[in-house]
Structure 1
Amino acid sequence: MSTHVAAGPGEIAPTVLMPGDPLRAQWIAETFFDDARCYTEVRGMLGFTGTWHGHPVSVQGSGMGQPSLAIYANELFREYDVQSVVRVGSCGALTERLALRDVVIASGACTDSSMNTIAFEGLDYAPVADFGLLRAAVDAAASRGTATHVGLVFSSDSFYAARPELVSRMVGYGVLAVEMEASALYTLAAKFGRRALAICTVSDHIVTGEETTAAERQETFGEMVEIALAAALG
């Protein structure tokens, strides 16, 4: 039983979906899982296990930002032997190539976080997705006809950036969207020899100013969940 997850042995499946919002975790469990049961409510960060098409699967809220996600990812990998984590979250579009509610599959994650700078003593480590999960997600999205973009995301430590022009500069180098967790997830998966992927739905558009509501972000981003389940368990 870990400090922040506090689930018992065998209560968490080898495959875990990880939204930031614990209420989105509850919605995913209630909407997509059979026989869903809650295994943790510690600090309100809900976690559930059930089945999808007969496959065991869990969903665990991570909170916002890389430090928060790192707590849960560390404990899932180290204490519960989780093999695959797929982040299912929201992102902000940085280019007009993306539209509201498009799905972004992150092949890699740039960041302004100091977590990897400290861990690698100044070297630039490049966190990337597991290729098997990435390929399966792209195939699953194509079979659904979902508007999908594959490429780099920027995992920011600041939701309200002091220097937004620096993030915009990254668009010229292929960065599609901004979010707050993928870099830490990919790094920790590599550390533990596990699989990870981030699939995000565009919830707001940095260029056009369009945005979805909090309720929509919590409960209407079902396509990325279906893609994640098909990629990890299909």
Structure 2
Amino acid sequence: MGTAHNEAELGQIAKTVLMPGDPLRAKFIAENFLTDVKCFNTVRNMLGFTGKYNGKEVSVMGAGMGMPSIGIYSYELFNHYDVDAIIRIGSAGALQEDIELKDVVMAMGACTDSRYSYQYELPGDFAPIADYSLLEKAVGTARELKIPVKVGNVVSSDVFYNGYTKANEKWASMGALCVEMEAAALYMNAAKAGKKALAILSISDHILKGTELSPEERKVGFKDMMEIALRLA
């Protein structure tokens, strides 16, 4: 039986799910990279598909924008649909000078300004980190494909239009590679459920340099990130 946000039945979703933010990107991946595709969710237009990549079953589903949204969908996938691993594939804004547009960043850890972790009633701050086995395999896959990647800390922010104008400067000064809006919640949900998660990010804009990709350039730039993620399934 489905949930309020996902109409899939048990068994219709693969053990590994790729999660772009945009449900239309999930549709694009399903149509262009997978075979034997079946749509398992259309609720709220948060499209989800299961198909095969190189003969192995994999699902792809939109996550929406921000930690509340990916928090709902990833929680249900881990806890209601028995998904073992979720790989976020999304865009991010660079915070370091040596990172360029279209670069691929793998989030070893995810700093955050969110209070998402309050629900766990921990006696301190939780450090959301990627599953090491997924991260190690992703880095190895990138090397095989000759795709350069940067691995390190990212920032998952609750705020896109931030009134605190020095926020990105401060995170950059601590070595954060880029800023996005979902990874920390995904990593916390995975930790609580005893499951695996990894965020692979493609740089769509540079916060400090003020440069950005056009919508068309984003599609091309995201190809490397998608290929790495698909090979992890």
Q: 1:99 to 1:220 in 2, by over 3 A?
A: closer
Return the alpha-carbon distance in structure 2 between the equivalents of residues 39 and 224 of structure 1.
24
Percentage identity across paired residues of the two chains: 50
**1:27·1:219 contact (CA, 8 Å) conserved in 2?**
no
What is the deviation of 1:14?
0.4
Amino acid at match of 2:212: E
Taking structure 1 as reference, are residues 220 and 173 closer, same or farther at Cα in structure 2, changes over 3 Å only? closer
Tell me the residue number matched to 2:6: 5
Alpha-carbon contact 1:24-1:219 (below 8 Å) kept: no
Q: Structure 2 CA distance, aligned partners of 1:16 and 1:216?
A: 25
- 1:125 aligned residue: 126
Letter in 1 for 2:187: Y
With over 3 angstroms needed to count, the CA separation of the structure-2 counterparts of 1:216 and 1:21, relative to structure 1, is farther
- Partners of 1:181 and 1:19 in 2: CA distance: 10
Please tell me whether the aligned partners of residues 32 and 52 of structure 1 are also in contact (alpha carbons under 8 angstroms).
yes
| Contact 2:107/2:154 (8 A) holds in 1 | yes
8 Å Cα contact 2:107-2:153 kept in structure 1? yes
Q: How does 1:65-84 map to 2 (within 5 A)?
A: 65-84=66-85
The two structures have a TM-score, normalised by structure 2, of 0.95
For 1:84-136, what per-residue CA distance to the aligned partner results, in whole angstroms no more than 9, with x for missing partners? 00000000001111000000000000000011134335621000000000000
2:195 equivalent in structure 1: 194
Give unmatched runs, 5+ long, in structure 1: none
Residue equivalent to 1:17: 18
Structure 2: how far apart are the matches of 1:162 and 1:178?
Answer: 16
How far did 1:2 drift? 1.4
Q: Where does residue 136 of structure 2 map in the other structure?
A: 135
SS at match of 1:203: strand
Equivalences, count: 232
Classify 1:76/1:130 alpha carbon distance in 2 versus 1 (closer, same or farther; 3 Å): same
Q: Is the 8 A contact 2:202 2:221 kept in 1?
A: no
Does the alignment pair 1:204 with 2:182?
no
Q: Which residue of 1 aligns with 2:95?
A: 94
- Please state how far the C-alpha of 1:208 moved relative to its aligned partner: 1.4
TM-score, normalization by structure 1: 0.95
The alignment yields a C-alpha RMSD, in angstroms, of 1.3
Q: Distance in 2 between matches of 1:30 and 1:92?
A: 27
Q: Distance in 2 between matches of 1:62 and 1:219?
A: 21
Secondary structure, counterpart of 1:175 in structure 2: coil
Letter in 1 for 2:146: G
1:116 is matched with which residue?
A: 117
Shift, 1:216, TM fit: 3.9
Is contact 1:23–1:218 with CA below 8 Å preserved after alignment? Answer: no
CA distance in 2, matches of 1:68, 1:215: 25
Following the alignment from structure 2 to structure 1, what is the Cα–Cα distance between the partners of residues 28 and 7?
Answer: 21
Cα separation, 2, equivalents of 1:170 and 1:124: 17
Please name the residue that 1:167 is paired with: 168
